[in-house]
Structure 1
Amino acid sequence: MMPAARIALLGEVCDINPRLPKSHDLQEDSEVGFVPMAAVNETSGTIEQRLTRRFAEVKKGYTPFAEDDVLFAKITPCMENGKAAIARGLAGGRGFGSTEFHVLRAKESVLPEWLYYFVRQQRFRREARRSFTGTAGQQRVPAAFMAGAAILVPALAEQRRMVDVLSCAEGIVRLRREARKKTEQLILAIHADMFGDATANPKSWPVATLGDVLERIDSGKSPRCHDRPKAPDEWGVLRLSALKHAAYNESDHKTLPDKEVPDARCEVRRGDLLLSRKNTLELVGTPAYVWDTQGRILLPDLIFRLCLRPESGVHPLYLWALLTAPAIRRRLRLMASGTAASMLNISKERLRTLPIMVAPHAHQQAFAEHATALHSISLQQQAALANAEATFEALLARIFRP
């Protein structure tokens, strides 16, 4: 007969932020794994970049961990976004990473996977958020909250069985996500096939500057907002992170306070072509096409809206895909001022000088029709993905319910 599950404190079943043992046997030149915060994918819950460093480079100023330890981001917004992963495949079985990770090392009563799925729950992360300490923008989950969190601990055999179930459900989510990603990539692949390299212009089409084809470049405002999603009758302001990987995520916004009067000129509309004017080196100049909007969403001052001249002969979907092309993205980065250590910025004046090839309108229209059809498929895939994610989250909640 299998022993009944018990409720324990997280600090009882794992070591939280264990120190590097004195008897670690690491030499100055020993290779160890290295995991910066950016290496952890918040969506998949995996370490995407397998980096190594010499022990001498990381022994001070970084968080130590070992093979099979669970890494959990403690700082906002990484924690809310779900940045957590099991450290595996570490060089020499040892790793070092961001000081913004909490490290959970399983004791004999729990599996590392059990801890991983526990901290991946939305319910756990909501509770963790309520425990935040620190100032705005630098708030963190304290170690005391982690140690005092209640966790269900069934027998190891039952943990393995339920981990297998969760792994299968998470695998379905991953497949749904990959299918949608491939559809979105196909849109850009069709553009590359129809028009060729965006800077080489192999078909010798006319070249114009962005300023030649734009009527104007709008920018919004960034008042102090409530850090929560808006109600249907409220107004929201996009976060900069709403533009990522050439996609528009309207749910990534803050709420405009009642005392602030919304400027209707800054409202995001269906068919808008947006561009991130200020961001990191990777994301500065990121374009996004607004396929649809629920309304009452405003532009911040860090996002441009590119408004085409009606007589320009340039379709917004064609221009969106063109601005997404790797060669154009490199040019946009070169236009940005500032340093990689801070946020880079593209001015309206520099942006207007960007050269673009202008394909025949019939070709652009044909591409837009392909893109629209594939976007329709992507919406169906998104619905299937949402169902899979909801199923996975429901399983997590049911399995870890005390």
Structure 2
Amino acid sequence: MMLPETWAQVRLTDVCELNPRLLPEDRLSDDSPVTFVPMSAVNESAGVIDKPEERTFGEVAKGYTSFRERDVLFAKVTPCMENGKAAVAGQLVNGLGFGSTEFHVLRPRPAVLPEFVFGFVRQQAFRDRAASAFIGTGGLQRVPPEFLARVKLPLPALPEQQRIVNVLQQAEALSQVNERRRHLDQVIKAALDQLVLDRDQGEWVQLGSLVDTRYGTSISADATAASGVPVLRIPNVMGGEVDTTDMKYVELTQAELGRLRLTAADVLIVRSNGNPEYVGRSAPITEDVCQSLMVYASYLIRLRTDGVRLLPEYLSAFLNSAYGRAAMRNAIRTTAGQSNLSAENLAKVRLPVPDIEAQKRFRQLWLQVREIRRLVTQSEQAAIALRSALSIDALSGDLTAQWREDHSDALAEAALSRDQLLRERGAKIAIDTTSIAPSTVQVDLTVRPARHWLLDELSDFQRQVLVAFTAYSHTVGEPLLVEDPDVFARFCDDTAVTERLQAFGDSQGNRIRRTLSQLAALGLIAKVTLSKIDQETGERDYLKAFRPLREDEFTRLADAQALRKASAPNTGGEGS
């Protein structure tokens, strides 16, 4: 299917300069103030720089990423990229900014608006594709610049870009989730302030006298849910509480399980990462988390409290606060770009110890706030799904179809101007955007027409998984239960799959599972939930599964669009 007639398809680097260098004429005197943006200054929920700092040019001219007004910042490192850390730079001191080296910088040229580029790279589907291109290992995986250089952008004329940007910004403005989260953070901060400020620093005690410490396992988390036990990693504790939505599994001996099993007396703290902002982040292990056997990985340290002098919820809240960050500042060491916090140095950190009854009251408040946060997150997830659907519709041309018809003459003229700008730069313009599956794809892939162009943007591994999955599903005639170890193992061992993926090496099970989730997020396959009854216990469980799209199916995004239209009041006003 074609994109709208006045749209073009170009490479992102045809309309943006990627990671531009600081030009000699942009350099300032060493004592001139400039804006500084560490990774933590970018709000991933709102997509804005909400905590900029000010430094002198001499402090940041070397060793940091430079950018100017209206540049688009895109986090390249995990988990910041997946979380959506991106922003359009604005209100820079002296018009110049510097920031973390973990940002890619996109400098839009005249044919594209910065906000349009921002909306494109903030899409969940785009981030899923970027994650599939990660290079590196462990906690230092990054999106390489080559990925951005080969990405293709559907490009309307400037007036339609502005229309799309206006609609997306209005949708974003309707969300109040950040304000609710800030309010909840202030509730915890006020309670913590009362406990900390009531005690003179002379009464603070060393953490090592209050807890037992232990490093986690360094064994690779490549087991399945059937053969291993859940292992918490850095992404699972970054938010101040344990997140179990993305779990890995590890096989350990009984002795190791006994040493590393987590209890409700424990706090996990990040001890090593390439981003110094992450080191020292912590989360308590609550009763609901440790109901099942669970261990932790080597980049974490376990702090076990005694429950008599110190409670984990208070300890974690203190470590995550400004008080805790200040107390740990001298304990964190940086070597070769890696920041580290040893158990020995951590034990020397001093903290106030309120009486246990005060800590119990704080724990009760902390648990209540956590439950409210979960409700807020659920409502935000529903809002994100609708905004994601809106974004896909906007960036495929569906959203502005009527508006485009009403402004056809002006858009035709603007499209000619855009094409002239692109040709002056030697860009290859694809006006006829009929997307044909690559020759390696031999099966019929039924996708939503407006999103068919995504097939050309898949990585080789994603494309081969899609083809193999489609062929396998047509053969077996039923959805693939990826959470059933036996069913998933049969899929991975099937000839149709192994032949397609043999060039990528062995033991690709976890990567295949992640890729299927990415394809579902892109709307190229469907994710469903199926029930399964345990033959031994008779208990019913609900497992995640994937299936090819049906002939008459337009994916969940079209369903969301229909839901919006059905629920919208019929005002008889102007369409979008």
**TM-score, with normalisation over the residues of structure 1?**
0.76
Output the amino acid matched with 1:112: P
Query: CA RMSD of the aligned region, Å?
Result: 4.0
1:242 pairs with one of 230, 236, 244: 236
2:268–2:285 Cα contact (<8 Å) kept: no
- TM-fit CA distance, 1:118: 0.5
**Structure 2 CA distance, aligned partners of 1:25 and 1:348?**
45
- Shift in CA distance, 375/138, structure 1 to aligned 2, threshold 3 Å: closer
Alignment partner, residue 385 of structure 2? 390
Counterpart in 2 of 1:256? Answer: 249
* Larger Rg over CA atoms: 2
1:261-296: CA deviations, max 9, x gaps?
A: 584332445x34314162476555544223433845
1:221 partnered with 2:217:
yes
CA contact under 8 A between 2:79 and 2:235: conserved in structure 1? no
Tell me, what secondary structure is at the counterpart of 1:248? coil
Tell me the distance in 2 between the aligned counterparts of 1:14 and 1:320.
43
8 Å CA contact 2:285–2:312 kept in 1: the answer is: no
Distance 1:247 1:164, change over 3 A: same
2:178 aligned with 1:189: no
Deviation at 1:119? 0.8
Given candidates 120, 123, 126, the residue that maps to 1:124 is 126
Structure 1 segments unaligned to the other structure (5+ residues): none
User: Which of 40, 52, 56 is the equivalent residue of 1:49?
Assistant: 52
CA distance in 2, matches of 1:232, 1:99: 40
Provide the C-alpha distance between the structure 1 equivalents of 2:134 and 2:374, rounded to a whole number of angstroms. 36
Match of 1:114 among 113, 116, 131: 116
User: 2 CA distance for matches of 1:200 and 1:260?
Assistant: 45
The alignment status of 1:200 with 2:196, answered yes or no, reads: no
| SS across alignment from 1:72 | strand
Partner of 1:158: 160
Aligned with 1:11 (options 10, 13, 21)? 13
Count of residue pairs brought into register by the alignment: 385
Distance 1:221 1:169, change over 3 A: same
d(CA) in 2 for partners of 1:322 and 1:59? 34
Q: Deviations over 1:163-218 (max 9, x none)?
A: 22222333344x2133124214313422433x45264289x9xx87756665x545
Offset at residue 120 of structure 1 (A): 1.1
Structure 1 pair 101/120, CA: closer, same or farther in 2 (3 Å)?
same
Q: Within 5 Å, give how 1:25-64 maps onto structure 2.
A: 26-29=27-30, 32-47=34-49, 48-54=51-57, 63-64=65-66
2:300 alignment partner in structure 1: 303
SS of the equivalent of 1:357 reads coil
Question: Whole-Å Cα distance in 2 between the matches of residues 222 and 71 of structure 1?
Answer: 34
Tell me if the contact between 1:213 and 1:314 (Cα under 8 Å) persists in the aligned partners.
yes
Contact 1:3 1:155 in 2 (8 A): no
What SS is found at the alignment partner of 2:110? Answer: coil
**Cα-to-partner distance string for 1:108-140 (whole Å, 9 max, x where unaligned):** 332110001101112112222333456776654
Change in CA separation of 1:31 and 1:186 when aligned onto 2, cut-off 3 Å: closer
Residues 241 and 283 in structure 2, CA contact (< 8 A), matched pair in contact too: yes
Output the amino acid matched with 1:376.
E
Of stretches 28-37 and 381-390 in structure 1, the one that deviates more from structure 2 is: 28-37
Cα drift, residue 151 of structure 1: 1.7
Identity %: 34
Unmatched 5+ stretches in structure 2: 397-449, 451-576
- How far apart, CA to CA, are the structure 1 residues paired with 2:61 and 2:319? 42
**How far did residue 315 of structure 1 move?**
4.6
SS in 2 for 1:162: helix
